[in-house]
Amino acid sequence: MRITRVRLREVTGTFHYRGEFWEQRLARPLDIYPEHRADPREWWLPEQDGPGPYRLRQIFLEIETDEGVHGLAGPLTRDVALVIGTQLRPRLLGTDPLAIERRWDVLYRSQVHGRKGAVMMAISAIDCALWDLRGRWDDAPVHRLLGGPVRTELPVYASTLGFSLELDRATALARQLKAEGFRAQKWFPRWGPADGREGLRRTLALFSALRDAVGEEVELMLDAWMSWDWAYALAAVRELAPLRLYWIEEPFLPDQLEAYAALRARSPIPIAGGEHEYTRWGFLPWLVRGAVDVIQPDIYWAGGISETLKIAVLASTHGIPMIPHGHSVPATVQLLAALPEPVAPWVEYLLKWNELLQFFFREPIQPENGVIHVPERPGMGVELDPAKIDEERELAWDN
């Protein structure tokens, strides 16, 4: 079998949502600068013309072969699609799509400046498309190709990014998620060190209210999205300790590994991180240094199914669970169904992001009563739904 086409399909659809879709953004590292701190916008939102529905535009990768079988991945951001279209596509055409490990290694070795960031995200997407293709070719879900199923049902934690942090509304949602069966939920404070004591006070007030709302049996996590400094983090872990959080995520920028390790040594609350780290080589120092209690590679960013499996193996030798960041729920579900529970215990489900990221799928992968039933459909188990596509164009970027 040979790869005959590498298509980048840009599709546009209409996303109907009553009211304001994004209610609150999270704290960002840039918030140390007042002009950024004052900016309420979320950067990655779909276009909206006035008060009407959102125009959703997304790019999907489709790898076609001379045997008629294809592989799908996405949605992808434009910078990632550009890397595929200009730099990686020529290295795929004419090659064997089933030799996935070789494809990955050739792409990796061809991109010596691309070990992290958009290039590795592009390699990740190609890897996921190739696993999807192989699943369709074998008429088997990816988790079976990986030696699974180890599990047919995966517990899901709800991520509330984008929802209001006003105490009344946040606690109402927290109770609702508990009633829907989620056994864990993650929240994203809007405040950070630039807000001083007031930022910490509001964070404590939010998590105290959430703990009161859900009781002791629901796990609560806090995602700082790389926005804290040392003094703020140290005060936060001490003051939040009585609320028994399940973890604090990404307190620092990912290059501040020594700060992670130092905080973990002092924190009564487990520390999580790695959502913005890449590949087995990127994660090894996190493990060797003892920087975190939980590692969180994203399959669509850190190197795809092939590489995240290797990261999981590395983490398991250190006894550190891998709980992937949830950019692609379909890919995460396939990988985690092939791993034992202690190696990769939870699927992250970003409630609002998944409405966007799975919008164009015919059968989005969604939790029921706090778990995802692992789909048995071939490959990653998702297909684009033509009924949701208003317009489509092909991105060429031929060089």
Question: Nearest 5°: phi and psi at 100?
Answer: -65, -40
Candidates 111-119, 120-128, 170-178, 274-282: pick the segment binding Mg ion (CB under 5 A).
Answer: 274-282
CB 388 → Mg ion: shortest distance, Å?
28
| No. of helices (H) and no. of strands (E), the chain | 15, 13
Provide the token pair at 56.
Answer: 């959703």
Whole-angstrom CA distances from 110 to 76, 103, 287, 319, 332 are 21, 11, 27, 33, 27
Provide the token pair at 267.
Answer: 């924190």
- CB distance 288 to 299 below 8 Å: no
Question: Nearest 5°: phi and psi at 216?
Answer: -85, -20
CB 282 → Mg ion: shortest distance, Å?
16
Candidates 135-143, 219-227, 355-363, 369-377: pick the segment binding Mg ion (CB under 5 A).
Answer: 219-227
- CB distance 243 to 207 below 8 Å: yes
Measured distance CA(221)–CA(146) in Å, rounded: 30
Output 275 or 293, the one with its CB closest to Mg ion. 275
Candidates 11-19, 81-89, 275-283, 351-359: pick the segment binding Mg ion (CB under 5 A).
Answer: 275-283
Q: Is 325 an active-site residue?
A: yes
Catalytic position from the list 143, 276, 325, 327: 325
Taking CB positions, which residue lies at the least distance from Mg ion? 223
CB 355 → Mg ion: shortest distance, Å?
18
Q: Rounded to the nearest 10 degrees, how much is the dihedral formed by the CA atoms of 266, 271, 277, 283?
A: 70
Output 89 or 327, the one with its CB closest to Mg ion. 327
Interaction of residue 348 with Mg ion, rule CB under 5 A: no
322 Cβ contact partners less than 8 Å away, ≥ 6 residues apart:
294, 295, 296, 297, 308, 311, 312, 315, 316, 343, 344
Residue linked to tokens 């590679």: 297
Output 65 or 185, the one with its CB closest to Mg ion. 185
Interaction of residue 307 with Mg ion, rule CB under 5 A: no
CB 350 → Mg ion: shortest distance, Å?
9
Per-residue contact string for residues 55-84; x = within reach of Mg ion by CB under 5 A: ------------------------------
CB 225 → Mg ion: shortest distance, Å?
6
Could you tell me how many residues of this chain bind Mg ion (CB under 5 A)? Answer: 2
- CB distance 224 to 189 below 8 Å: yes
Output 43 or 215, the one with its CB closest to Mg ion. 43
Whole-angstrom CA distances from 257 to 190, 250, 252 are 23, 11, 8
Interaction of residue 223 with Mg ion, rule CB under 5 A: yes
Output 62 or 250, the one with its CB closest to Mg ion. 250
CB 293 → Mg ion: shortest distance, Å?
15
Output 355 or 383, the one with its CB closest to Mg ion. 355
**Residue numbers of the site for Mg ion (CB under 5 A)?**
223, 275
